[in-house]
A and B are shown apart, each in its own frame.
Chain A
Amino acid sequence: MRTLPQLAGLTLAVLASNCAYAQTAYPLRIENCGFPLEIAAPPERVVTIKSTATEMLLALGLGDRIVGVGFQDGPVPPQWAVDDLPVLSEKLPSQEVVLEAEPDLIYGGWESNFAADGAGERATLQAFGVGSYVSPAACRSVKPAKLTFDGLFEEVDEIGKIFDAETAAQALIEQQKAELASVAADSRGLTAVWYSSGTKTPYVGAGNNSPAMIMEALGLENIMADQDEGWISASWEAVVDADPDVIILVDAAWNSAEQKKRLLAENPITSQLDAVMNQRYLVLPFPASEAGVRNVGAVVDMAAQLAALDFTR
C-alpha cells in the first residue's frame, strides 16, 4: 500500500505536468555499466540485491514486482515499507536461488553481485533470458563520473523507463529535488571525515561517490575529497592530521555508530580529535549511505543534526 505523502507527490506531479510522460517503447536498449541491456517488456518479476535496489523500486511504487530480495543492509524506511518481501537470502544469494524465483530482471546494488559465485555473470543470465541492472553509481567495469544528485536522478529516470513508470519516476525526482532545495548548505567552512567501517585501518568516504556528494550538499569540506574513489582504506594518521570538525558515522548492524563512538573515544590517538572530545558526530544508517533514493533524506536529516551540534567549545 502506498502511503499518503507518496500518493500526494504522485498526484501533484500528474497535475503539474499537462503532457503525460512518453510511454516506454519496447524493446528498450540501454548501456548499463558497459553491458548492452535489452528489455523486451516491463519487468514483472524482479529480484533485488542490496537495500539500495529494493528501496529504489519501493520508492517508485513498484514493490509488487519484487519476487525476491537478497543481501539487505537494514530495514526499509517506514514510508516505503511493505509487508512480506520474500527474502531469498540474508547474504548474497547464489545463482540457483535467484533463478528459482524465476525473475525477468535482477537489480543489483553492487556490480560484484553479478559474479559466478553470486547471482551469476551478466552474460550467463542474459543467455537464460534474465536481464540484469547495476546501479550506475556502483559500476566498476566502467568508471562512473563523480556522483551528483543529478546523476542519481538519472538512475531514477532510467528505472522509470525500464518499468514504464516515468510518471512515478519524475514525481519522485521532483519531490527529492524540492527536499534537497530546502536544505541550506552549512557555510561555516567545517571539515568532515566519513567513517564507514574498519578499526585499525578506517574505511572512509573519498572524493567521487555518495559520501562526497552528501558532504558537499551539507556544506562540509571532505578531508579525503582529493581521492578519486568512492571509499578508501585510509590511515588514522591522515585523519588525525586533518583533525576534522565533524565525524560522520555510518550506522550498520555489523558495525554500529555506538561501536564507532566507543572505539574513537578509547583509542589513545583518535580520542584526542576535536570532534571526538566534543562529541561532534553526524549519524546515518548504512543503507542510506550508498547511492540511492535515501541520500536526499540523509542530507535533510544530517543537516538537522549538524545544526544541533555545539561548536562553542
Chain B
Amino acid sequence: MTATQRPTLLTLGIGLWVLLLASVVLAVAFGPADIAPSEVWQTIAHHLGLVADTPVSRLRDAIIWDLRVPRVLVAAGVGAGLALCGTVMQALTRNPLADPYLLGLSAGASLGAVVFLLAGAALLMPVGAFMGAAAAMAFTLLVTQVLGGATPARAILAGISVSALASAATSFLIFWSATGDSYREILSWLMGSLSGAVWSDAVTVLAATIFIGLPVLLSGRALDAFAFGDNAAASLGVDVPRLRWLLLGATALLTGVLVSIGGAIGFVGLIVPHVVRLATGSRHRVLLPVSMLLGAIFMIWSDTAARSLFAPRELPVGIITALIGAPIFILVLVRYRRMT
C-alpha cells in the first residue's frame, strides 16, 4: 500500500459509512403510507429516547418503528451478508462466478424452507432453511470428497449438481402440493422478499452478519494467499484445508440465516465484490469490508424500490436486484474478458 493510496482508502471507507447511515435515515422515509419525513425521524428519535413525544398516531408509529425500521435494518444486514458470502466464495474457489448459489447453499436453504412451509410449520421455516443450507453444504462436501478431494473445480461441480437436485426437489414439491393460490406465497418467497421483516429478524440478520463476518474479515490476509493457489498459500503458512472448510462452513451458516429471512435474493453476492474490486483491487482486508458496506447500501435501496415504487403493491426484491445486477454482471464479464 503506497502512501498516496492511504487517504483514498480512508476517504472511501468514511464515505461509504456516511452513505450507509444516510441510506438508513432516508430509506425509512419512503413507503406506501404517506408520512412526512420529519414525522418519521421524530418518531424514531422518540423510540431512541431522544425526544419525549411522538407526533404520529399509534398505527403510524407502528408503521415506522415496527415495519420500516426493522425492514431497512434487515436489508442492510442481508446485503452485507450476501456480499460477504460472495466475496469469500470467489476467493476460496478462485472463480469469479462463485457465490452461495454456485455451491448449492441457496438452493438447499430454499428447499429446507419450502419443506417446512408446506408441512404447515411456517414458523419453523428459518430452521428449515438453515438445515437445508447445512445439508446442501455437507452434500457438496461429500460429493467433492467422492470426486477425489477438495479442489476448486470439484467443489463447484459438486455444488452445481447439488443445486440442481435441490431446485428440482423444490419445484417438485411446489408442483405437487400447490393448492389454490398457495403457490403465490412460495414463489414470491423463492424470488426473495424482505416483506414482513420484524425486529427479531433484524436482530438475527445483523447478529449473524457481525458474528460470522468479523472472524472472516480477520482472515483477509489468508484469503489473499488463496489467490496464488493452494500450494502457494500453504507455503505462506496457511493451513489450507482447515481454513477452506472453516470459511465455507461460516458461509453456509450465514447463507442459511439470510435465505431463511429474505429468501433466495440473487446477484448481490455475485456482483458487489466485482464492482468493489474495480475500485480497490483484490486485497481482501479492503475488499471484504468495502463489499459489505456497498452490499448493505445496494440492498437498502433495492428493497426501498421494491416496497414503494408500485405502492400499495409489493414487488419481490429479487426482481429488482436481478434487473440491476444482471446488466452489471454482463459488464463485469466483458471487462474480465478484455483482461484475460
Query: Is A238 in the interface zone, CB < 8 Å from B?
Result: yes
Residues of B with C-beta under 8 A to A238 = 32-33, 311-312
Query: Is B199 in the interface zone, CB < 8 Å from A?
Result: yes
B193's partner among A197, A201, A269, A273 (CB-CB below 8 A) is A201
Contact indicator A269/B63 (Cβ below 8 Å)? yes
A98-118 interface bits toward B, Cβ cutoff 8 Å, 1 = contact, 0 = none: 000000000000000000000
> Which residues of B, 24-64, contact A by the 8 Å Cβ criterion?
31-34, 58-60, 62-63
> Which residues of A, 120-159, contact B by the 8 Å Cβ criterion?
none
A270-298 interface bits toward B, Cβ cutoff 8 Å, 1 = contact, 0 = none: 00110000000000001000000000000
Contact indicator B62/A252 (Cβ below 8 Å)? no
Query: Is A79 in the interface zone, CB < 8 Å from B?
Result: no
> Which residues of A, 193-214, contact B by the 8 Å Cβ criterion?
196-201, 203
Q: Residue of A at shortest CB range from B314?
A: A235
Contact indicator B33/A236 (Cβ below 8 Å)? no
Query: Is B307 in the interface zone, CB < 8 Å from A?
Result: yes
B67's partner among A198, A203, A232, A236 (CB-CB below 8 A) is A236
Query: Is B173 in the interface zone, CB < 8 Å from A?
Result: no
Query: Is B237 in the interface zone, CB < 8 Å from A?
Result: no
Query: Is A240 in the interface zone, CB < 8 Å from B?
Result: yes
Residues of A with C-beta under 8 A to B313 = 227, 232-235
Interface residues, chain B, CB within 8 Å of chain A? 31-34, 58-60, 62-63, 66-68, 122, 178-182, 184-185, 188-189, 193, 195-196, 198-199, 307, 311-316
A199's partner among B62, B68, B196, B316 (CB-CB below 8 A) is B196
Ordered by A's residue number, 13 sampled pairs between the chains whose C-beta atoms are within 8 Å are: A91-B179, A199-B122, A201-B316, A235-B313, A236-B196, A237-B63, A237-B67, A238-B311, A240-B33, A252-B179, A254-B179, A268-B66, A272-B59
Residues of B with C-beta under 8 A to A252 = 179-181
Residues of A with C-beta under 8 A to B178 = 91
- Closest Cβ–Cβ distance, residue A285 to chain B (whole Å): 11
Contact indicator B312/A199 (Cβ below 8 Å)? no
Counting from the closest, the 3 A-B pairs by CB-CB distance are: A200-B196, A238-B312, A241-B33
A238–B63 alpha-carbon span in the complex (Å): 9
Residues of A with C-beta under 8 A to B182 = 197, 254-255
A235–B67 alpha-carbon span in the complex (Å): 10
Contact indicator A201/B314 (Cβ below 8 Å)? yes
A94–B88 alpha-carbon span in the complex (Å): 45
Contact indicator A200/B195 (Cβ below 8 Å)? yes
Interface residues, chain A, CB within 8 Å of chain B? 73, 91, 196-201, 203, 224, 227, 232-241, 243, 252-255, 267-269, 272-273, 286
A239–B34 alpha-carbon span in the complex (Å): 12
Residues of B with C-beta under 8 A to A236 = 67, 195-196
Given contacts A201-B196, A238-B33, A272-B59, contact A233 B184 (CB under 8 A): yes
A200–B196 alpha-carbon span in the complex (Å): 4
- Closest Cβ–Cβ distance, residue A216 to chain B (whole Å): 19
Contact indicator B181/A240 (Cβ below 8 Å)? no
Contact indicator B312/A269 (Cβ below 8 Å)? no
Residues of B with C-beta under 8 A to A286 = 180
Residues of A with C-beta under 8 A to B180 = 73, 197, 252-255, 286
A73–B68 alpha-carbon span in the complex (Å): 36
B58's partner among A254, A268, A272 (CB-CB below 8 A) is A272
A224's partner among B33, B63, B185, B312 (CB-CB below 8 A) is B312
Residues of A with C-beta under 8 A to B199 = 268
B63's partner among A201, A232, A241 (CB-CB below 8 A) is A241
